[in-house]
Structure 1
Amino acid sequence: MAFKFCWLGICLLTIGTANAQNSQSIAQLEQADKVQNSRERITFLLSTKDLQTDSNDSIKAAYYQKLGNAYAQAYSNDTALNHLNQSLQLVGSKPFYLLKGEIYNSMGNTSLTLSATDEAMKYYNAGLEELGDLTTVEAASLKSRLLGNIGGIYNELEQYSKSLEYAQASFQVIEEYKLADRYFFGHLILAFAHSALGNLDQSMEHNLKVLDIILENGDSSYLAYAYKNIASIYHQKQDWKQATKFYLNAKDVAWAVQEYEVYVSCFSNLAEVAEQQGQFKTGIAYAEQGIDAAKKYGLLPKHIEAIKFYYSLLKKSNQTALALSAHEEYMALKDSLFRLETVAQIEEIESKYEKAEQQKEIALLVAQQELTESELSRKQQVQFFLVGASTLAIVILVLIIYNQRQKARLRHEILEGQLNEYRIRLNEMLGKYEGDFSVSLEELNDRLSTPISEREYDVLKMVFTQKTNQEIADELFLSINTVKSHLKNLYDKLGVNNRGEVVKFIASRR
């Protein structure tokens, strides 16, 4: 029974240790999410040995999913897919539906980066299938993302009706579960989908919702884009006044947050609006400001865009000489851009080659690290087994010692009982003299050649009543050695060798 309780205690201790380790691993995963830079997140995740050797498959799978995401954001897509596949294998057929859905979403995003549209679509749909009828807030948030991503693919494929259908399905989930952090993206996706279909009023409605959310949250990073999207719709609707107003708003915000591409682009848009209204002088002024800003910030494509409107406006305002000069500059810039694009393509090819080499090196390092981690994991398992075996051996030894002590105590109690029984029988054999000592010291000394002392006489009476040496010592306030000394003297003076003979001696003298 004691062994069973002890083994139960070991099991509970093991479970408690495992729970503590799981809590620590989850905390590390949450900490990894807070690391903004993808390379730094990779370094952090690779340094967490506990996550890599965790015995909990769901935690280990979540670790590889986050590591895969980090590599994807660092444009190491092959390495990313490798880790995401590891994550998927760990989950297997286990009922980790939400985690599996996240893995498929990450694989879809990575495939989309590699322009593997079919693969991405397959992964997104697999993620939706995993979620099934889950009704948690986390599942709803993931479902809205997956539907939005599928809508984005259909938009790229120019299947705009399908794109709108999935955008609406995504937003329906957002509204049903009141996913506050998803409203911004939900309205943004719907705005793009409606715009692609030419539904300008609906697109405007959602763009204005986006603007309200941005202004409410005080996040100015998207504000310039929101203003520009709204201005673009007014532009298409030929509402020149509102288009000009929102382009100017976008320009001012872009300048404030240093979004210089948007800033320069707004000048070209304003020049185009002025041209369409026949306000050539105003348009020329906007185009010149756009050219100056593009030169200042080194934005060649935006420079070409601004000078194109500048040339058109000069030509329409009959400023022929300036128009020819602007056209020459426009052609020269286009040639320059072509050369830059050619160089960029060469550099991109070289970069892809270098990146492929780096990914090979990273994959090799990862493989070596995983091999080392596997060896460490094996050693840790052996150590854990040895510690467990040692603990179990100690427990068994303690139980054996305890059992032996219990047996020894039982034997002692049995022997004590037998001794008492023998004592009773001896008293019966000697006669009922226990407690009946009537021989005085004088009478006894008259019969002895060597008289006994009063203290020896006291000890003699105690012996006659069958008291032990310790009991005699306690009652007469003597040490046990003094009692033994008195007994030896008594034996010598009475001519006997033990207590039994002492009793017989006294009985024979009665």
Structure 2
Amino acid sequence: MRPIFLIHLLLLWFFSQNIQAQNFEIAPKDTIFSNALIKIQANRNPVRVMELLNTLPSIETCGNDSLMADLYYFYGSAFGQMGQFDSSHFYLDKALSISASAPLPLNQVGSLIAQGNVYWGMEFYHLALEKYQEALVIAEQQEGQEFDTFLVMILGNIGGIYSQLKELDKAFEYVIKSNEIGVQTNNLRPRSHMKIGRYLLDLNKPEQARDSLHRSMKLIISHNDSIALVHCFEYLSQAHLQLNNFDSANYYLQLCTKTGEKLGYFLDDIHLNMGILEFEKGNFSSAKAHYLKGLDLYIKKGKLKGQAEAYELLSQLAKRQNQNELSLSYFELFKALSDSIYIKDRAVRVHELETKFEVKKKEDQIVRLELENELNETQLSEAKWQTLMIGSGALFLLLLGAIFFFFYKKKQRSDQLAQQLQYDALYKRYIDFINGPSSFELTLSISALNERLHNPLTEREYEILQAGLNGMTNQQIADKFFVSLSTVKFHLGNVYNKFGVTNKKEALEYVVKTT
């Protein structure tokens, strides 16, 4: 059982209050934005934050880059905490764009960490790792207490990602680095220290984990971090469970539950934790009830890994009760979900590589087109010079011949004009042929198109395909539908897979043939 990504967003929310340490002058017209930002920083409830943000005029009217980046960041973070990941990425992309061009490195690092946290919540661990690593590169190049704080946070989060990827040695290595920097900079984070105990649990060292977590608990209490205390109680319960100290395990699990209820903060894993404890105590019916509650919660939240873990525990419970047929049924569900998770992770990695390849390919095409344009301009310049010389000679001859053959030359000039018009028409047709159509109107309805597909398109995939064929860029599509660039690429990747093609050109050919 692992803590959900919201803890990282909440922690980042706390440290984001330091982002305003960057110096900037606030114009009188921006006072309304700065006053709202002060209220937002003092409030960690995402619903309340959204209410405050929605009372503001358009953020684009704000004349201060730092204020704009902060407001977009809080929009993205609030949407992320509410599980609205597409909207979260949309606003965090805006914050990143502003902070990268300004530049505002503190805002940039904060937005990258927030994006990593959102990807973590979506279970896209490789994408989350990339964002954390981008943030780490920037933070290591900067100086100041705020960046020291971010360094400790980033290293701890990278450790958490490696833990999710089951690379426990790397996870432990990064969390140790996080704590070392925290000690060196007098910026030791209780949560990072708590992760040491968590990874010791993963490494099956419950006694060391228990002792480390007791030290973490003292640090957390001294920092008055109630959310972290909930997780510390959870890990202490797991450590005592591994040591077969069932009373102590139950004691800390009850503390975890009661503290979370007081804060209105409920862990997704709590039912499975309770079920495991009841299972070890031999209370099988109670264990099953907790497993089923946990499974229902994971299904509602769309957490595939949680569902897989619940089915695995139910399978083990049924086997323990000699219900072999039921055990096999649960195990098949566990196996199917595990395969689905693997395929999903693999598809994300493939999509990342395809995106990088397409970007490099487009960059090479741009360079090639620029060189071709330079060559064409040179050839056109030479052609114009030659035409000018020929025209001058022809004019001289025409003037000389006009003395004797006026009517003849008049007809000749008419013929030349007709020839020039014919040349222009042919040249225009040539250019139109070379350029081809810039867009394609998709007239086939989604139902008609899906009848020709083995794996039908969703409405959003059809809308994004239609926009792409109409000549819109991926960024224009993202702006139109208020989603992130990475979401557009993800949907296009799904469309290409269903068409059996690899790029937009092949997709157009497929649609034309289908139509």
Larger Rg: 1
TM-score normalised by the chain length of structure 2: 0.49
TM-score normalised by the chain length of structure 1: 0.49
Greater relative CO (CA pairs within 8 A, separation 6+): 2
